[in-house]
Amino acid sequence: MTTEENILALLPYTPPFRFVDRIDEVREEYIRGSFYLEPELEFYKGHFPEHPLTPGVILTEIMVQVGLASFGIYLAGATQPARSFPFALTATEVNFLRPVYPGDTVSVLATKEYFRFGKLKCRVVMTNSKNELVCEGRIAGIRINDHEAA
């Protein structure tokens, strides 16, 4: 398995709450990943039923799952299944710049600002399939010890 496949296997999420399809690239300074927003996703039924739109909280969650969860797994060198998930979200600051519709694929680039003392902070940028900037901001999290996550 590649590093990218290992990260996906260690994510502590399953459908319908897993919002990472692919990890395209991961290095010490950044990670790139993507998610396809299937038109049949349950939240579209109630979020503007006549004109479905992806909720900002879902876009934020996609950024967190790529930029904090997946990146945290890589940076922490995690090798255990989801039970020893290494990071919990502590802060978000996101600016939403354009709508995202059902059937689109969004890509996330998270660049490490710092990773020290059990804390990870990243600058995140999300683009749609037309490579248009959708949202951007910062996310942060803290490492959870195995005994604390149990």
Rounded-to-integer distance, Cα 38 and Cα 57, Å: 16
* Structural domain span for residue 45: 3-149
Q: State residue 36's pLDDT score.
A: 98
Output the domain CATH number for residue 118: 3.10.129.10
pLDDT (tens, 9 = 90+) of the chain, 150 residues, equals 678 999 999 998 999 999 999 999 999 999 999 999 999 999 999 999 899 999 999 999 999 999 999 999 999 887 766 455 678 899 999 999 999 999 999 999 999 999 998 899 999 999 999 999 999 999 999 988 644 544
Residue 145, pLDDT score = 67
Beta bridge partners of 35: 106
- Conformation bin of residue 70: beta by default, left when phi > 0, alpha when psi is -120 to 50: alpha
Domain total of the chain: 1
Q: Which residues contact 4 (CB under 8 A, 6 or more apart)?
A: 22, 23, 24, 25, 26
47 part of the active site: yes
Catalytic residue chosen out of the listed positions 13, 21, 43, 47: 47
